[in-house]
Amino acid sequence: MPRRQYKKNPVTKDPVYESSEVAKFINYVMLDGKRSVAQKIIYDVFTKLETDKKDPLKVLQQAISNVAPNYEVKPKRLGGASYLVPIEVRKERKLFLALNWIIEAAGTRSNKTFNTFEKKLYTELVEASENQGNAVAKRAQTEKLAEANKAFSHLRW
């Protein structure tokens, strides 16, 4: 915990879609500071969604809401033992976890059927918006772990 308040940098909205979620998504996809490459990947995925007669912003919002966890566990040490204490997830962290899990799940897809990251990310986004896929499974796993450790919720202090 910081001893003083720190200033949060505001996220500039994406110039094409006027959305801060898209801007964050681009930032999370970006590797080694190559923003133009990340933008090309995201915009290619969104144009493919548009050609399939789907609104890309609605698909992204639905995917985020399906993947974002409500509870997660945090380890707390008490008397030499470490307990996994379930805590509620803040709104900013929900967005961070959801977008990162979607990107992670897209990266772990097999290369046999999908040979580019754009195709992998497209299928993961569509599956996540339909409440399927590896990112949704990760959410279910996280919330199941939090539910299993509900007995230690009194240690959340």
d(CA 148, CA 82): 15
The predicted pLDDT at position 70 comes to 94
Each residue of 122-135: pLDDT tens digit? 999 999 999 999 99
Per-residue 3-state assignment (H helix, E strand, C coil) for the chain: CCCCCCCCCCCCCCCCCCCHHHHHHHHHHCCCCCHHHHHHHHHHHHHHHHHCCCCHHHHHHHHHHHHCCCEEEEEEEECCEEEEEEEECCHHHHHHHHHHHHHHHHHCCCCCCCCCHHHHHHHHHHHHHCCCCHHHHHHHHHHHHHHHCHHHHHHCC
The predicted pLDDT at position 152 comes to 80
The reply to whether 27 falls in a domain is: yes
The reply to whether 134 falls in a domain is: yes
Q: Which of 66, 65, 60 is nearest to 122 (CA)?
A: 60
Q: For the chain, how many structural domains are there in total? A: 1
Is the pTM higher than 0.85? The answer reads: yes
Domain that holds residue 132: 20-69+92-143
Q: Which of 71, 81, 77 is nearest to 148 (CA)?
A: 71
The predicted pLDDT at position 111 comes to 75
Domain with 35 in it: what CATH number?
Answer: 1.10.455.10
The answer to whether 124 and 100 have CB atoms below 8 angstroms apart is no
The reply to whether 40 falls in a domain is: yes
d(CA 55, CA 52): 9
The reply to whether 12 falls in a domain is: no
The answer to whether 24 and 95 have CB atoms below 8 angstroms apart is yes
The reply to whether 11 falls in a domain is: no
The reply to whether 4 falls in a domain is: no
The reply to whether 57 falls in a domain is: yes
The predicted pLDDT at position 110 comes to 83
The reply to whether 50 falls in a domain is: yes
Low-confidence ranges of the chain (pLDDT < 50): none
Q: Which of 83, 68, 84 is nearest to 145 (CA)?
A: 84
The predicted pLDDT at position 101 comes to 96
